[in-house]
Amino acid sequence: MKKLLPALKWENICFSVNTGFFMRQSKILHDIDLELHRGKILGLIGANGAGKTTTLSIGAGLIRPYQGSVTVHGIPISSIKIKNRIGYLAEVQYPFRHLRLVEWLFLLGKLSGMDKNELNQQVEKILNVFELEELNQKFLNILSKGQLQRVSLAQTLLHKPDILILDEPMSGLDAYWRRQVTAFLKRFKNQGGAVVFSSHVLTDIKEIADSIACIEKGRIKWISDTDSLPDSLTPPEEIKGFEEILFSKEYI
Amino acid sequence: MKNNFSKITAISFSVWKESVRNKGLFTLIFVFLLILLSSHIISAAASINSDRILQTMGLFVFGMFGILTNIYLGTSLIQEISEKRLYIILVRPISRTSLLLGKFSGTCLVLLSVFFAASGVWLFILYINQVPITLLHFLTLFFLLGEWIILASASLFFAVFTTPLLHGLFLFAFAFFGHYSKDLILYSTAHSNIFIKKTLLCLYYFIPNLELINFKGAMLYNEAISLGNIASGFLLVVLWTLILFTGSGIVFSKIKLL
């Protein structure tokens, strides 16, 4: 039987940036190997600056690694044709602050190559699903963080992708929308979609993901199924030196 | 091809909408128009050559505002790159060159809008001051717009790899040396140091001679402009816009957007 190719595959990815006056090379990612399969959700965890966002950006084809490759259903990510199969949620959600919500969605739909009728219908549905109808004529720069996050989630689904790459999808959402997004991602997965997302909230990852990859200092520390998480994930009971940086005891 | 064109126009109109809804640009236009109107008052106070003062001041303001508007619009692209705000667009099936083309054509649309509004005001001021408006006025304005377009492509080129401050400085230097580029040749021949000689010569070749599209003198003194001069001016605008845009495209396709 023919083996299905991974929906998204990071193969031996190394990435570096040049920093400082002498533009010294600083390695951010080392030999990242990850596979995301259809009907699966992969969660990325790691401390701030561990390399989660960079891994996701490379997976979305936004930045090029100096070594290794990313493929989408076996096709290199550099191919423009494959980009419509990816829905990407970024940390910063919009470049045009003075566009109306509906104008922004129409722009992204046009960039995805959707025709007018299809786009009209899809925008209407998306606005309805994310309860954004009342905000559709509002300018993006006046929306709250949570509303923007919903807009951002809406744009990831606008062109009907089968792979979602989500950087902190729960960020800024209230309890109701966290539940809604959790339910939605599970449904997306059950219909054969593939999702990779990063989060700092372990409960989110445990609830949504099928497997978890921990990134530490630009390397994959471990990959595990959600059911068999290692003990190292329990938080430390005390933080050394924390009391020394607190306010003066005289105030108490 | 058709699909790509619709993507470019979509970005272009978004850039235009974004700019015309921006209060910052309106403040700039307001100051622009205010200075244009003040030329009316200053020329009225002059005892002689009030017509020339009116026209010279107006055209100087046009030149300055070409630089300032381009600095303002270019800075927004730098911010979009540095704050990773372009990610959400670049993740779609659009090449970086098409994105840049959309940005450039959008910037040109904004410049056209500002230019036509300001030209209307300026020509109206000339009209109420009973300055005879000739074809030379329109030709001068047309090539001033050409200079704005060259500056827009230079602004795009600097914007893809510099900081806002450097972008402003480079663009200002570009416009300044562009108007004095012939002097660079003069200094080059006069200098004995071979290094300075070659540097000045290089600078001459790397910066367009903007005086070739400056017909202010001809307009003020009502001198005829040859067809050859018009053609070479037009060619200069087209070629330098293409060169600078291609340069921006090459740099933007190579840079890491992290």
Minimal CA–CA distance to B136: which of B66, B64, B230?
B230
B258 vs A contacts (CB less than 8 Å):
17, 54, 57, 63
**Is B85 in contact with A62 (Cβ distance < 8 A)?**
no
What pLDDT shows up at residue A8?
94
**Is B17 in contact with A103 (Cβ distance < 8 A)?**
yes
Taking chain A, what is the end-to-end CA distance rounded to the nearest angstrom?
71
Q: Can you tell me the mean pLDDT for A47-68?
A: 91
Per-residue H/E/C for chain A: CCCCCCCEEEEEEEEEEEECCCCEEEEEEEEEEEEECCCCEEEEECCCCCCHHHHHHHHCCCCCCCEEEEEECCEECCCHHHHHHEEEECCCCCCCCCCEHHHHHHHHHHHCCCCHHHHHHHHHHHHHHCCCHHHCCCEHHHCCHHHHHHHHHHHHHCCCCCEEEEECCCCCCCHHHHHHHHHHHHHHHHCCCEEEEECCCHHHHHHHCCEEEEEECCEEEEEEEHHHCCHHHCCCCCCCCCHHHCCCHHHC
B248-252 CB contacts, 8 Å cutoff, 24+ apart: B248/B100, B248/B104, B248/B153, B248/B156, B248/B157, B248/B159, B248/B160, B249/B96, B249/B97, B249/B100, B251/B157, B251/B160, B251/B161, B252/B96, B252/B97, B252/B100, B252/B160
Of A90, A98, A99, the CB nearest to B88: A90
**Per-residue tokens: A63:** 């930045």
What pLDDT shows up at residue A5?
87
Of A54, A81, A152, the CB nearest to B93: A81
A110 pLDDT band, cuts 50/70/90, is very high
What pLDDT shows up at residue A240?
64
pLDDT above 70 as % of chain A: 88
Q: Residue A21: is its pLDDT beyond 90? A: no
- The Cα A227–Cα A224 span in angstroms is 8
Which of B15, B87, B110 is the best substitution to test chain A (most A C-beta atoms within 10 A)? B87
Chain A: residue whose CA lies nearest to B79: A95
Task: Kindly report the backbone phi and psi dihedral angles of residue B87, in degrees, each rounded to the nearest multiple of 5, phi listed first.
Answer: -50, -45
Residues of chain B with pLDDT under 70: 1-2, 258
**Is A155 in contact with B91 (Cβ distance < 8 A)?**
no
A-B Cβ pairs (cutoff 8 Å, strict): 87
Collect all residues with Cβ–Cβ distance below 8 Å to B175 and sequence separation of at least 6. Answer: B63, B66, B67, B147, B151, B210
Helices in chain B by DSSP H: which ranges? 2-20, 23-45, 50-82, 87-90, 96-128, 135-159, 164-179, 181-190, 194-206, 216-220, 227-254
**Is B91 in contact with A86 (Cβ distance < 8 A)?**
yes
Beta bridge partners of A29: A15
For residues A251 and A204, which has the higher predicted lDDT (pLDDT)? A204
What pLDDT shows up at residue A226?
85
Assess A95–B contact: CB distance below 8 Å, yes or no.
yes
- The Cα A35–Cα A114 span in angstroms is 29
**Is A88 in contact with B88 (Cβ distance < 8 A)?**
yes
**Per-residue tokens: A31:** 């030999």
Of A17, A61, A110, the CB nearest to B7: A110
Average pLDDT, rounded, for chain A: 87
Record the pTM: 0.87
Taking chain B, what is the end-to-end CA distance rounded to the nearest angstrom?
30
Comparing A127-131, A235-239, B16-20, B119-123, which segment has the lowest mean pLDDT? A235-239
B7 vs A contacts (CB less than 8 Å):
110-111, 113
**Is A62 in contact with B91 (Cβ distance < 8 A)?**
yes
A99 vs B contacts (CB less than 8 Å):
14, 17-18
Interface of A with B in 137-156 (CB under 8 A): 139, 152, 155
Tell me the domain boundaries of chain A.
8-228
Which sign does the torsion angle of CA B20, B175, B228, B62 carry?
positive
What pLDDT shows up at residue B230?
94
- The Cα B104–Cα B170 span in angstroms is 18
B17 vs A contacts (CB less than 8 Å):
96, 98-99, 103
Q: Are strands A8-19 and A163-167 parallel, antiparallel or unpaired?
A: unpaired
A111 vs B contacts (CB less than 8 Å):
7, 10-11, 89, 92-94
- The Cα B134–Cα B132 span in angstroms is 6
Of A57, A80, A95, the CB nearest to B80: A95
What pLDDT shows up at residue B255?
82
What pLDDT shows up at residue A207?
87
What pLDDT shows up at residue A244?
67
What pLDDT shows up at residue B2?
66
What pLDDT shows up at residue A125?
93
pLDDT tens by residue, A187-197? 999 999 999 99
Chain A: residue whose CA lies nearest to B8: A111
CA dihedral A220, A222, A226, A230 (to 10 degrees): -140
Chain A: residue whose CA lies nearest to B11: A107
What's the CATH code, domain A8-228? 3.40.50.300
What pLDDT shows up at residue A166?
94
The Cα of B63 is separated from the nearest Cα of chain A by a number of Å equal to: 28
The Cα of B98 is separated from the nearest Cα of chain A by a number of Å equal to: 10
- The Cα B156–Cα B100 span in angstroms is 8
Give me the number of domains chain B comprises: 1
- The Cα A226–Cα B43 span in angstroms is 79
Q: Can you tell me the mean pLDDT for A88-103?
A: 84
Give residue B136's domain range. Answer: 2-254
Task: Using alpha carbons only, give the angle A156, A197, A4 rounded to the nearest 5 degrees.
Answer: 85
Q: Can you tell me the mean pLDDT for A59-74?
A: 91
Contact A167, A89 (CB under 8 A): yes
pLDDT tens by residue, B171-225? 999 999 899 888 888 888 888 888 888 888 888 888 899 999 999 888 888 888 8
CA dihedral B15, B18, B19, B24 (to 10 degrees): -150
B77 vs A contacts (CB less than 8 Å):
none
The Cα of A28 is separated from the nearest Cα of chain B by a number of Å equal to: 11
B10 vs A contacts (CB less than 8 Å):
106-107, 110-111
What pLDDT shows up at residue B33?
84
Please, what's the b/e burial string for B41-72 (b: 16 or more CB within 10 A of its CB; e: otherwise)? eebeeeeeebbebbbbbbbebbbebbbbbbbb
Q: Can you tell me the mean pLDDT for A78-90?
A: 89
Chain B: residue whose CA lies nearest to A61: B91
Per-residue CA distances from A161 to A5, A12, A36, A220, B45 (Å): 17, 25, 15, 27, 67
